[in-house]
Structure 1
Amino acid sequence: MTTSTRPRTLRAVIARHAALRPDQPAVVCAGRTLTYRELDRESERTARVLRACGVGPGSRVGYLGKEAVEYWELAFACARAGAVLVPVNWRLTAQEVDHILRDSTTEVLLVDEEHLPVAAEVQKGLPTLRTVLCLDADTPGAASLAARKGSLSGAPEPAGEGADGDGDGDGDGEDSPVVQIYTSGTSGLPKGVVLAHRSFFNVAEAMEDNGLDWLDWLPGDRALIGLPGFHIGGLSYGMQAFNAGATVVSLPAFISSDAVRVIETERVTTAIVAPAMLELMLLEPAAARGALGSLRKVVYGGSPIGEDLLNRAIGVLDCHFLQIYGSSETGNFALCLPPADHVPGSPRLRAAGRPYPGIEVRIEDPEGRELPTGEVGEVCVRTPARMLGYWRLPEATGRTVVDGWVHMGDAGYLDEDGYLHVRDRVNDMIVVAGENVYPKEIEDALARHPAVAGAAVVGLPHERWGESVHARVVLEPGQQAGARDLLLFLRGRLADFKIPTSYDFAEALPRNPSGKILRRAVRDELAAARG
């Protein structure tokens, strides 16, 4: 496809495939299937519902629920309306959901029946949230998306000038915002990463232009999205599948037995998962019986693959493996460890990968100077897919994106072949089975317990999940609290995956002369104790 004929917006992508392959399944989830013609039609109807609710260009529209065909339908409806999709992690507590919807000024929220109580709880205190629509039509006492679509009258709205990607009048040009993903930061509060349409096109186009098959798409491909849609990995891979005219196969939530069954019944050819998910799938009895035999490529991210896991996967699956590295701030995958480097025993298995065409990586010292090959510093990425910025946080944006370079918060080095090796984290972030966890948010929550004087939260290596959350706690004089007390206290205040799974108690926390907690000292001490 030439550059001039490529679609450059999400709206244009679906319109194109609805014309080219109208009867091909576009998305499959929980027993429901929408063809490309139906996805185009239903996203148009949902866009009309959004407009009737007062949504216009730049309005924020939230989604709180597990994966469903309506999630992808809503993403393209927002693109049609010029609105911005705000996907909310359904594992968060009501307090955490409240912050995201409040900060984003979400006006309309789509929610599944399971999470309707949370939506009802937070709506009371949110002045901007005018409308809550339930996905399930038969939920008593709740306004439903299906009912609103059913009440529409008149002919479908024309695609208009914006459908070809020029964005005239509709706020849907390739540089217009279309998604706002929330990711935590060192401040402890989630920040809204605003992404434009272009974030979902640049990487695939660069690979096509350079003849690379790292993330290739073949006719008839069916892609399992094991990572959730509120995660940049799941959202980006899903959109790349739609861009290629493939079929997206979603799981309402990742359960290893369901994933194996769906791969077999839907004849899935490519999948994106975290390494922990892949390990759980290989443990399923059906995997040994050939249930995963349709796979030709497994894409994974969040942490490197262990050599033992790779050996087992190669023994069960006759397919290629591909590691991706990026962040919400880079807007898409930035580096890749190609299939050719997935050789048992190869030192490259410990690398994050090398940049996609058109993307640059460099290592900087604390003063912003570029470091030579082999020296460890902060990883910085320059990519045309990067975020527009953090929502209403210009100072935080300026700290993360400097002269076009996204500062990743990882410490690493480049080898002589240009492969990135990540050695540590500059910002102390913990990754639990692909979920980003930030220590300060947990430390602040622990500090609200009346018996806690202070806490230092760190990540510990975990064989299955990559890392687990550990808290070192200092109690107030004369106060008592144990691990179970703290666990019960945090439930309902933090999402389950953020709650520490282990604790130790100390008289004091290591600090530098200015009083800052030295989490690295805690990690080093715990590592020495483990040998």
Structure 2
Amino acid sequence: MGVLLDECADRGVLSVVHLDRPFDIAPDAGTTHDVPALARLVQTAAGWLAAAGARRGDRVAIVKDNHWDYDLLACAAVRIGAVPAKLSGTLPPEPLAVLLGRLAPAVLVTTADVLARGHAVGVDLAAACRVTVTLDGEHPGATHVGEFRDAAAPPPVRPRADDPLVIMHTSGTTGLPKLVAHSTRTIIGALARVEAGRIPVIGVQRSDTVTTVSAYAHGRTFCWTASVVCLAPRKIVVLTDADPDGADPVLRAHPPTVVEGLPASYVRLQPLTTRLDNPFRDVRLFVSTYDAVHPPTVRGYLAASARRRPLWMQGWGQSETGPITFRFLGRKSASWRNAGHPMPLRTRLRVVDPATLRPVPRGRPGVVQVRTPARCLGYVGEDERFAGKCADAWWNTGDFGVLTRTGSVRLLDREVDTVPGMSCLAVEDAVEDRLGSVVECVVLGRPGAPPLPVVVAADGTLDPAAWSAAVADLPPMAEPLVLAREDVPRTGTGKVRRTALLAALTGNTAPAGSGRWT
């Protein structure tokens, strides 16, 4: 990864990258870059990190605003033999300080704004770091990156296959995120190398315009970077914000043929699908990762494409494992909650009883376990927690589901959110499918009380009669609460922090399930 862009430039890769705003590491370089320019940015950043004192085996923490230069900085750290740790700038200062304490990085690359937010609540985010480098401005105790502008990059170092290559954190829907360490063998050899193949229909082609709108602090984009540059599409379009009005001119200037996005980003961008100059008219493939996407959203995008048979590829996986299963949805697809089949020839699934951890017959619900060569090396600073989710070569996903007769998995809920006699995810699907005014539905399980539905409505209101009719055949629930989107606590990837939401609404933090494998 440290020389990925150099090698692609030497091979004559002609992809052009278009950004919705300039890189934070190159604010004066504009929004259009070719591959040689990206390679020079990585080399330059490698010089900064070396001048700041990062050496082979050291950890380099990256905390900043959302942008693809998270991955360019990660490549720069890998280039000098260091181990990058990508931490979301959306994390509050207190949990961010805990994660930095576990990492004890030699260098922290951040912004003065991030440090100031910590200072405002009495948290010194630089305390656990040897050197702190700011990208945007001066801050006491930190060195502005301008001090290293003329530093030359040292010769590249090739990491060993099984040594830590990169660290990223989980979404943190149920509490403090976990720090996940991957090696070259797990994230590049077992994941990116497969994705970089020219797979018929679903593979990226040289004629494609590939658009991504993601959370670049997370692990998916590191793997995506490794594959998409090698596949050399005509254009790569990077969106850092899913605000429809901001994204619209970029998408219209560069209409995508392949789109990959966070489920929450698809929801936010969906109003664009009904505009006269619909920017998704030429999309042949939509890709979603991280979390479930509800049926109305999928149907809206597939209908927006003017292609004869557009596809939606939905992946289910975790930071610890990468993609576990995948499935394809078309305009006439059914059985939405089915997460698809495991990756052929390399991933196996089983469902176990949550009490005994013994496999259950197909068709019976239980906790899903996976066996994959892409499983991470461990959790930084939480060895015991990691060991508790391992059973020989099997990894406990913490998801509750059913293995069907055909070998696909039907997801029900996270085990921590499990409500006896119902699937919260299935109820959410049904509500959003039946009530067009509901942009988002979240069903919160509560011990000893009916599940609490929370809805985000397009106009901020919910018709009681329409609600009663929509849920008449669903399991009993409490009366719904209507919230504005901005009042729903979320992770950096847009997932709802269900535990935090339940606590804010009821004062109760007790999970519906055991929470044993969070």
Going from structure 1 to structure 2, the CA distance change for 1:182 and 1:518 (only over 3 Å counts) comes to closer
- How far did 1:322 drift? 0.7
* CA positional deviation for 1:55: 1.0
Structure 2 match to 1:471: none
The amino acid that maps onto 1:370 is P
Q: Deviations over 1:93-121 (max 9, x none)?
A: 21122112112112322224543413666
Describe the superposition over 1:56-75 as per-residue Cα deviations: whole angstroms up to 9, x where unpaired. Answer: 22322122222335323201
Distance 1:57 1:19, change over 3 A: same
Does the 8 Å contact 2:205/2:232 carry over to 1?
no
Q: How does 1:256-335 map to 2 (within 5 A)?
A: 256-284=244-272, 287-317=275-305, 318=307, 319-330=310-321, 332-335=322-325
**Aligned residue in 2 for 1:395:** 384
Find the counterpart in structure 2 of residue 519 from structure 1: 512
Amino acid at match of 1:334: I
Counterparts of 1:174 and 1:87, CA distance in 2: 20
Partner of 2:44: 45
- The residue that corresponds to 2:340 in the other structure is 353
Unaligned runs of 5+ in 2: 23-30, 419-423, 429-441, 459-482
Q: Which residue of 2 aligns with 1:409?
A: 398
**Aligned CA distance change for structure 1 residues 69 and 27 (closer, same or farther; 3 Å):** farther
**In the TM superposition, what is the alpha-carbon distance from 1:185 to its structure 2 partner?**
6.7
Letter in 1 for 2:84: L
User: CA 1:386–1:394 in structure 2 vs 1: closer, same or farther (change >3 Å)?
Assistant: same
* AA partner of residue 303 (structure 2): G
Query: Which deviates more, 282-291 or 222-231?
Result: 282-291
CA contact (8 A) 1:269 1:296 kept: yes
The correspondence of residues 8-407 of structure 1 with structure 2, limited to 5 A, is: 10-21=1-12, 24-26=15-17, 28-31=19-22, 32-68=31-67, 70-112=69-111, 114-118=113-117, 124=124, 126-136=126-136, 143-145=143-145, 147-152=146-151, 157-159=154-156, 162=157, 167=158, 172-183=159-170, 188-198=175-185, 199-206=187-194, 212-213=199-200, 215-246=202-233, 248-284=236-272, 287-317=275-305, 318=307, 319-330=310-321, 332-338=322-328, 341-347=329-335, 349-357=336-344, 358-366=346-354, 367-407=356-396
Q: TM-score, normalised by structure 2?
A: 0.74
Contact 2:96/2:125 (8 A) holds in 1: no
Q: Secondary structure of 1:519's match?
A: coil
In 2 relative to 1, CA 287–298 (structure 1 residues): closer, same or farther, beyond 3 Å?
A: farther
Secondary structure at the residue paired with 1:50? helix
Give 1:329 deviation, angstroms. 0.9
Q: Give 1:174 shift.
A: 2.8
Q: Is the 8 A contact 1:63 1:86 kept in 2?
A: yes
Contact 1:456 1:517 in 2 (8 A): no
- Secondary structure of the corresponding residue to residue 21 of structure 1: coil
Asked if the contact 1:371–1:377 (Cα under 8 Å) also holds between the matched residues in 2, the reply is: yes
Q: Which deviates further from its counterpart, 59-68 or 179-188? A: 179-188
Contact 2:242–2:268, Cα closer than 8 Å, also in 1 = no
* Partner Cα separation in structure 1 for residue 127 and residue 118 of structure 2: 13
Deviation of the 1:76 alpha carbon: 0.8
CA separation of 1:52 and 1:355: change in aligned 2, threshold 3 A: same
Q: Is the 8 A contact 1:232 1:328 kept in 2?
A: yes
Per-residue Cα deviation, 1:293-313 (whole angstroms, up to 9, x for no partner): 242211113444333333322
* Secondary structure of residue in 2 paired with 1:34: strand
C-alpha spacing 1:315/1:396, structure 2 compared with 1 (3 Å): same
| Aligned positions, number | 446
For the structure 1 residues 306 and 518, does the alpha-carbon distance in structure 2 shift closer, same or farther, using more than 3 Å as the test? Answer: closer
What TM-score, normalized to structure 1?
0.72
Q: CA deviation at 1:86?
A: 1.7
The CA distance in 2 between the partners of 1:134 and 1:457, in whole Å, is: 48
- SS of the aligned residue for 2:301 comes to helix
Contact 2:54 2:82 (C-alpha < 8 Å) held by counterparts? yes
Contact 2:272–2:278, Cα closer than 8 Å, also in 1: no
1:308-366 alpha-carbon deviations (Å, 9 max, x no partner):
33332222123321101101111x2221112xx4343522x221111112111111223
Identity %: 21
Counterparts in 2 of 1:421 and 1:290: CA distance versus 1, 3 Å:
same
Structure 2 CA distance for aligned equivalents of residues 112 and 518 of structure 1: 36
SS of equivalent to 1:11: coil
In structure 1, the residue matched to 2:411 is 422
Q: Structure 2 counterpart of 1:242, which letter? A: V
- Amino acid across the alignment from 1:377: G
Distance 1:87 1:390, change over 3 A: same
